[in-house]
Structure 1
Amino acid sequence: MIIMYNKLAKLIIFISIIVHCECLKFSSLDTVYKKAVDAFSKERWSECILQFEGSLHLYKVYKTINVNCRLKCKSENHNTFTGNIDDLKIFEYFLTLKDCLSQCQKEEFESVHMYNNVSDAILYNMQSKKPYEYLHLCYFEMNALPKAASAAYTYLVANSDDIAMKRNVEYYIQQPEVDVKEVTDLESEDYQILYKLGIQAYKSNNWGNTIANMEETLTDYLTWENSCRAECEHQSEQEVSPEFIITVANNILPLLICRQKCQENLKPLYDSGAELLADVLNYLQISYYHSDRFDDAAKAVASYLTIFPSDEDMLENKRMYETLVQQKSFTERTDIVHYLKRDKYEKHLLNFFLKQDNSDLNANSI
């Protein structure tokens, strides 16, 4: 699913205005981040905050443009050649995709007066939420403890093994200035917020709000994972072989690994995207039932069973719904079916690659 372009345009315009009012001057994420680190090292706390917040805004623009261009170009039909001679069709696809991607990125980055070249080291720091490790200290030094608490918590969510940051969060929530209910993950995704709202509505037996929030959770999660997968197409280190086919294959492996890692964002609650989707579908079928929307409930049940076909409780639910609706109501959601097929095929390819790598290692050791 492609990011909505009107939402993207508003986001880019809003962020670019915040980050730089000097509209004719091009912004650089690398430069702003380095200025932030320099300000921190020299204990210029207010500048530290300004520059790190600026780097976070610039990174959102950078990520949004790249993801949007990748999804947009893939959604378009680039093949004009109607024949099927050797490998030419796939070559044409990638060449025209490259042209679309380069043009899209060039136009979008120029429109917001931002450089596209960002070092891999800075990208890694942004992805691992490093700015928040600095920001919580800068906020602390400026006596902005509520902001410091949320910055520390945001970093901890992405780096759960950091013992020192756990202690920092514990310290902050004990301070009288900090309301623990206001300590939030500043990088939380929309689907996470919607899911929590859905749970709250479910506990209050508010079936209408549960349905609205859980349906949006499904849509937003699938959109988020597509965006996360598109981010994986930036590869910092590419393995090169004199053999063209080997070079291509070697770079497919890290892409597949990265795409599968997107689902790790769901831990510790869920081990996979399929588990989250099944959980949401279960809430939906219950809420649809209580709203007397039995056809929608049957669709949610059929979609759930696509994920877990042997689930006895859901099979029992299906038998109950069969007394209320016609058999044709048990149709799986196409978005769920597509997600599962893609995930299964991707895991198959990944296992195939890993088995090949192990075979090569064993052969070389003989």
Structure 2
Amino acid sequence: MLEDKKIDRDFSYYDDMILSDIYTQSVDAYLDDNWQKCIDGFEQVIKRYKKYRNAVIQCRKKCKKNVDKFTPIFIDNIDDFHFYEKKVRETLCLLKCNQDYRDIAGLNSLKRLPYEIEKKIMEFVPYEHLHICYYQKNQFQDAANAIFTYLTIHPKHEMSISNLRYYLTLPEVEEAKVKNLEIQKFVKYYMEGVKAYEDELYELAIENFEKSLIIYMDSENDCRIYCEGPFDQGWHPEFTSSVANHFAYCLKCKRSCSLWLNNINGDYQKDLLSSHYNYLQFAYYKLGDIKNTCQAVESYLLFYPADETMINNKMFYSKLPKVQKNLNFFRPREEAVYYVKRQEYELRLLKYISDEFSLIDAKLSTSKNKSDKKSINNEKKAVNHPPPGHSPSSRLVAATDKFLEKKKISRRQFEIEKRLNKTKIIARENELGGKSRYLAEGFLIDSECDSLVQLAKIAAVKGDGYEDNKSPHSKNELFEGLTLGRAALMVYFGLLEPKKLQLFLHSTETARGHVKKFFNLDQELFFTYTHLVCRSALTDLSERDEDVYSHDIHADNCLAIDDNTCLHESPAYTWRDYSAIIYLNDDFDGGEFVFSADPKAQNIQSIIKPKCGRMIGFTADEKNLHGVKGVVKGKRCALAIWFTLNEKYYETERKLAEIILERVMLKGPFKPIKNFKIPLNYEKLLFSRFKEDEILKLLINLS
């Protein structure tokens, strides 16, 4: 809500105007440089829209409640007439309720907003105008608040980001007072609950989390009720079809309510609701309230039945004397049961609607499908040797299910930001003897490095990713690698802990964020291939041969022929734009990374010694010829990552791995036959799982 101004202003001018006219006049004032009228108008739009929306919601809530236990005109429910009678009664109530509000607030107060204008209000477009108007009136703190609010929904809007940065340089703007003017009401209690929890004030934490839960549930319910608005069918369907269409339209709207609530200042927190129960279970335990502890545990497990930590907590609590005397303590809370059941029913229903109507559309488009098949067949003929991470099967899954559509902020963004804050650059271009390169530390801690090295020991395949060649770079070394697709399948079949795949994904995503930030990229940077690799000396060499390389000097996106020639053509991976390597250990001899001015390593520019958590980042072109010196003794492990600016070459196995991880966290792993092993060429198996596993199919459709 906008802050009250110190100077009282007369807004009676707007009393007899409908909301859409106020919006239109405010835009005109903005375009005419009438800054005060722009401010007054848009502030009225925001204020009046909230009143309008709340009036609609309260009216619908009242009418739903009034007909909840109605007595039907005829006692027998013939042809489902009770449902229709209920809706008729609800409609009569809505008409009367709306008229009562108009009698108080004016005849036009509940006139429906045009969709185009309401959409702009809901997307905070008024704040985009307001920040300019505030700025022109020297209200700089208000300007900063307005643009920050706009950014919570449009976090990648470059001009707004630049404007906020500028406002923060002004002496009149206090950074600590910059706030989201549309923050959800429950967030205040949630944040106070987190603070009290961290301060070990568990009674206060419980009080705040319980308040937050109530307001969250009420807010989502209000949002869902508001979704039950008009729907332009665009045609004249039969009675039954019109009811079904309108129902599906409202249901899709209701599904977005949790997205709206879980956007905290532009950061999407998928686990926000379930985290209430996570905090509550420990806070109640610290206060000795074991019954509420167990209920919170069981409530959390409704959201994530396979969560390893919470399962262990449940086992611990179940051994307490109080719990053993009262085995019925582990009962989930009613609001959690209702919420999760409703979510699952809606997801299944939407999937059913999507699947069944897609089949009908397919039958109506037979000729189109035939031509599509021809183009697919032609495409298959053109692809002989797919690059690592881009098998035909994984591409097909991604293409079929529209994986490459733009999404909201990743649920892992908060974790990535925390990791990025712990990193530091230790060498730049000058120290490394070239251009577009840098060295940083702090991407992983020792225990995480050990975990990833252990992952390689458990799951890496000899020569994996390089056509089964066990020594693709040097005859003196054994090369072992692990792709995300193979790691995901191992998690799926219960052969690997989910946390190891999670660490694999998180650490490499941190690298992507760091590379994008360092090179100040103003466009999206996509993963194109990720590889956990280890190189082991086949024999301990007593003396190093300086001319022996584990990986010869090369560029990552072109063929380095001589000092002045690097060919951007096949078989080079020409779409690779940036590269990064995160090192996992240093308990070996040799294996240094080198930058060279030429492909024959006659002019070495810099040498980098691997170390846990150290990362080298650079452009993938001829400016950064590089190689790896031979490993003399021991095993050298690292995460090798390549990035692209071309979305066409996005690493589809990463997306498949994320979906599999979500499936396992929700429902646990799929149990295979005894002595099951992931095949060397695993792509067909990965593809088949997304065709046969109903849960994966559901998740992939929702992603």
- TM-score of the two chains, using structure 2 as the length reference: 0.47
What are the equivalent positions in structure 2 for 1:180-219 lying under 5 Å apart? 180-219=175-214
Q: 1:93 to 1:150 in 2, by over 3 A?
A: same
Larger deviation, residues 241-250 vs 253-262:
241-250
In the TM superposition, residue 18 of structure 1 has moved relative to its aligned partner by: 9.1
Match of 1:309 among 305, 325, 335: 305
1:185 counterpart SS class = coil
Check whether the contact 2:295–2:333 (CA below 8 A) recurs between aligned residues.
yes
Check whether the contact 1:120–1:236 (CA below 8 A) recurs between aligned residues.
no
In the TM superposition, residue 31 of structure 1 has moved relative to its aligned partner by: 2.0
Q: d(CA) in 2 for partners of 1:106 and 1:314?
A: 51
- 1:57-114 deviation per Cα after TM superposition (whole angstroms, max 9, x unaligned): 1101100000111122112224523221113212211111111112112212331235
Q: d(CA) in 1 for partners of 2:273 and 2:145?
A: 28
Letter in 1 for 2:242: T
In the TM superposition, residue 187 of structure 1 has moved relative to its aligned partner by: 0.6
Match of 2:57 among 50, 64, 67: 67
Identify the residue that residue 112 of structure 1 maps to in structure 2: 105
Check whether the contact 1:239–1:251 (CA below 8 A) recurs between aligned residues.
no
Letter in 2 for 1:115: S
- 1:276-305 deviation per Cα after TM superposition (whole angstroms, max 9, x unaligned): 222110101111111222221111112112
- 1:142-189 deviation per Cα after TM superposition (whole angstroms, max 9, x unaligned): 111111001001111122232211211122122222111111110111
Q: d(CA) in 2 for partners of 1:137 and 1:151?
A: 9
Q: Does 1:45 align with 2:35?
A: yes
Check whether the contact 1:79–1:93 (CA below 8 A) recurs between aligned residues.
no
Q: Does 1:56 align with 2:46?
A: yes
Check whether the contact 2:72–2:82 (CA below 8 A) recurs between aligned residues.
no
2:228 counterpart SS class = coil
Q: d(CA) in 1 for partners of 2:149 and 2:35?
A: 19
Larger deviation, residues 130-139 vs 78-87:
78-87
1:233 counterpart SS class = coil
> Which blocks of at least 5 consecutive residues in structure 2 are unaligned?
1-7, 367-703
Letter in 2 for 1:103: K
In the TM superposition, residue 22 of structure 1 has moved relative to its aligned partner by: 7.8
Q: Does 1:276 align with 2:272?
A: yes
- TM-score of the two chains, using structure 1 as the length reference: 0.89
Identity level (%): 31
Letter in 2 for 1:284: L
Match of 2:66 among 76, 86, 106: 76
Check whether the contact 2:196–2:202 (CA below 8 A) recurs between aligned residues.
yes
Check whether the contact 2:26–2:42 (CA below 8 A) recurs between aligned residues.
yes
Q: d(CA) in 2 for partners of 1:73 and 1:202?
A: 40
What are the equivalent positions in structure 2 for 1:118-197 lying under 5 Å apart? 118-197=113-192
2:16 counterpart SS class = coil
Check whether the contact 1:19–1:58 (CA below 8 A) recurs between aligned residues.
no
Q: 1:302 to 1:104 in 2, by over 3 A?
A: same
Match of 2:81 among 80, 85, 88: 88
Q: Does 1:226 align with 2:216?
A: no
1:86 counterpart SS class = helix
Q: Does 1:340 align with 2:335?
A: no
1:87 counterpart SS class = helix
Bigger Cα Rg: 2
Identify the residue that residue 328 of structure 1 maps to in structure 2: 328
Q: 1:156 to 1:19 in 2, by over 3 A?
A: farther
Q: 1:358 to 1:92 in 2, by over 3 A?
A: same
Which has a greater percent of strand?
2
2:78 counterpart SS class = coil
Letter in 2 for 1:126: I
Identify the residue that residue 362 of structure 1 maps to in structure 2: 362
Which has a greater percent of helix?
1
Check whether the contact 2:231–2:246 (CA below 8 A) recurs between aligned residues.
no
In the TM superposition, residue 321 of structure 1 has moved relative to its aligned partner by: 1.9
Match of 1:319 among 307, 315, 320: 315
Letter in 2 for 1:197: E
- 1:245-267 deviation per Cα after TM superposition (whole angstroms, max 9, x unaligned): 11221222221111111122225
Match of 1:98 among 91, 104, 121: 91
Q: Does 1:30 align with 2:20?
A: yes
In the TM superposition, residue 115 of structure 1 has moved relative to its aligned partner by: 2.1
Q: d(CA) in 2 for partners of 1:142 and 1:297?
A: 54
Check whether the contact 2:202–2:283 (CA below 8 A) recurs between aligned residues.
yes
Q: d(CA) in 2 for partners of 1:50 and 1:241?
A: 42
| 4+ aligned runs moved over 4 Å, structure 1 | 17-23
Check whether the contact 2:231–2:249 (CA below 8 A) recurs between aligned residues.
no
> Which blocks of at least 5 consecutive residues in structure 1 are unaligned?
1-16
Q: d(CA) in 2 for partners of 1:72 and 1:225?
A: 17
In the TM superposition, residue 54 of structure 1 has moved relative to its aligned partner by: 0.9
- 1:197-219 deviation per Cα after TM superposition (whole angstroms, max 9, x unaligned): 21222222221221111111111
Q: 1:157 to 1:245 in 2, by over 3 A?
A: same
- 1:16-66 deviation per Cα after TM superposition (whole angstroms, max 9, x unaligned): x9985589x534111221221121111111111111101111101100000
Q: d(CA) in 1 for partners of 2:328 and 2:173?
A: 54
1:355 counterpart SS class = helix
Q: 1:18 to 1:121 in 2, by over 3 A?
A: farther
Q: d(CA) in 2 for partners of 1:130 and 1:87?
A: 44
CA RMSD in angstroms, aligned pairs only: 2.1
